[in-house]
Structure 1
């Protein structure tokens, strides 16, 4: 299987398509593919690699051939034309009085389709807008309503970690993220601390959640009385990453123990 990307849209292709053309692709190669969106030029972000049987996904399209210099030039020309189309569409949206915010526009490589992505709070009746755009650009028009996460994915940006948004670089499908994940990791529940550029919970909360859940099963809760190597004490804090528990004794003496030490002493009572 090979993994490709264009405008932060990840696609997966079965290696059989490439083998049939006797072409070997490497990272950063450009190839021409046929996807559900149409004929596109994509950049390879991960060349052929083995995929476990349980992780196999349905291919997103068909490999056609390697891209030529002419294809690259056409791609860049299409980008310029798409930007002009985006400006025209924004004016048309205002004239039509539609409550929608355009995110971007993109031509397929053969210019047989012009795709506009937009966000909106409610469903939008854009049938007349499609007619206006089709008359102006003489091609098939497709308007797609996307969510705020998809908008951040297309627009890109820098996260609080100082790196490019995960969704704009390597994430494929969005994984559900819950507030419980932030609680498991003892993070601040302030929306400004755990929300991404899209305004939703940060996708990275999911990355270490499994570890924190497993670690918490080995550790007592704050406020519990446990048996330690030096007697009974109350848990007042913990370091989940290091599996260290902080306790306080009746004489206010505070000490830290590793979970292994507590388990050997009898653990939670």
Structure 2
């Protein structure tokens, strides 16, 4: 029974929305007024104000008479009278004395309020009202197809069905006047209801549809903004904003309404900024105005051929401007004392130009330095200092049964050439035997014999014998 789309977390009761507003899909609006008199006790002889404010879909609000003195609260669904006959259903948005103030604000007289409230909505009324709201989406798309078939330069943005399904109001936007008489005939034949066409502006269309702005929050026009004031590009100029239409335009295609929010503050601050100070003449040269910091009350100037900008207080700008009118040129823009001359660069610039400092290949240079350091370490430690170390550029490592065996040396103390070393190991195993070769064990002599032969060679080397030791199996048995 409830609408089920309350964004405030209040939920919806069978009789209607009880969350003080936020069901946008079924006729509620977020444009609520805070009732600051609800917690106050009224006098004993107080007679409640008999006019109630009712809100409908798309921020539409109207005033109705409560002649039967029905007990209604904010958020209740009520059945009200319409101007063309029939009835409609809306939410109660305001009751009591605040309605009198709203009438004064909208310039509506009490005697002009003629429509009245029939009753509180029953479950049958709510079901029929929801069935009418479910037809709006399909009706809008069918009406758009009819408008395209007639080549009408208009955009149908929303449809509002009356609760009794006897009337539908179509809202559209167009640049000029549109002759939609033929469209109304076709829509009346297709939908079998009374048709009303209402032209709205781009801002009103955005407020009805809603959305998220560039600030990340919901649109002001769909949440709290009721009156749309004109926004001009001069508001952006006064606030020193770039005149980029893509950044200044909202979802409606017009200039953002929030450009007017801080405009008064900027206008008050600009009263203290001197005018016509684009160039200040000094003996050092002509300084041109680059930017103006309104709230810091500083103006930034730069000399031709220099990249640095010099901040000048407003009092100094007025003084130089007065001197230039008299034909006097000062030495410089800013007057420094002897103690402040050493601090000129720090005071002249509040920022640092970092353009070009970070190179795109800075990570590659670090990797090159690391590789160079690694190569230097390898070259410095290339000579084998231990007996078990492998010589550099010695080719493929020969197979050894034991990992602790030392390389074979010649009588001169030099290392054996790789080719001779490979031939010797090839000769140790018989090519006819399947287990012979570099990795297999020879049948004529096991791995133990090879280990004894290497040990004897190490003993002879320590005693001073540079030749190959023949004791303990210098040559393989099968040779």
Whether TM exceeds 0.5 here: the answer is yes
**Residue aligning to 1:57:** 107
CA contact (8 A) 1:156 1:165 kept: yes
**Cα offset, 1:225, TM superposition:** 9.7
Distance across 2 between alignment mates of 1:211 and 1:75: 47
Q: Which has the higher contact order (CA 8 A, sep 6+)?
A: 1
The corresponding residue for 2:191 is 137
Q: Of the candidates 41, 55, 73, which is equivalent to residue 89 of structure 2?
A: 41
C-alpha separation in 1, matches of 2:171 and 2:76: 26
1:244/1:256 contact within 8 Å kept: no
- For the aligned residues, what is the CA RMSD? 3.9
| Greater shift in the superposed pair: 43-52 or 131-140 | 43-52
Q: CA deviation at 1:133?
A: 1.7
Query: For 1:194-230, what per-residue CA distance to the aligned partner results, in whole angstroms no more than 9, with x for missing partners?
Result: 101111101111222222222322444583799xxxx
1:112-141 deviations in Å (ceiling 9; x for gaps):
211111223332221122122222333211
Deviates more, 1:187-196 or 1:80-89: 80-89
Paired residue for 1:186, among 192, 216, 240? 240
Tell me, which stretches of 5 or more residues in structure 2 are unaligned? Answer: 1-32, 34-51, 281-286, 323-479
Q: CA separation of 1:23/1:187 partners in 2, compared to 1, >3 Å: closer, same or farther?
A: farther
- Is the CA contact (8 Å cut-off) linking 1:41 and 1:67 kept in structure 2? yes
2:394 paired residue number: none
Aligned pair 1:246/2:298, yes or no?
A: yes
How far did 1:68 drift? 3.9
Pick from 199, 202, 221 the counterpart of residue 253 of structure 2.
199
Matched, 1:173 2:173: no
Q: TM-score, normalised by structure 2?
A: 0.44
Q: Distance in 2 between matches of 1:253 and 1:134?
A: 69
Q: Does the alignment pair 1:214 with 2:268?
A: yes
Q: For this pair of structures, how many residues does the alignment match?
A: 252
Q: Which structure carries more strand by proportion?
A: 1
Q: Distance in 1 between matches of 2:83 and 2:292?
A: 50
Give yes or no for contact 2:301–2:312 (8 Å, CA) kept in 1.
no
Which of 204, 209, 219 in structure 2 is aligned with 1:150?
A: 204
- What are the residue-to-residue correspondences of 1:14-163 with 2, within 5 Å? 17=65, 21-26=69-74, 28-34=75-81, 39-44=87-92, 49=98, 51=101, 55-58=105-108, 62=115, 64=117, 65-163=119-217
SS, match of residue 61 in structure 2: strand
1:47–1:130 distance in 2 versus 1, CA, 3 Å: same
Q: Unmatched 5+ residue regions in structure 1?
A: 227-232
- Partners of 1:121 and 1:52 in 2: how far apart? 33
Counterpart of 1:229?
none
TM-score, normalising length: structure 1? 0.73
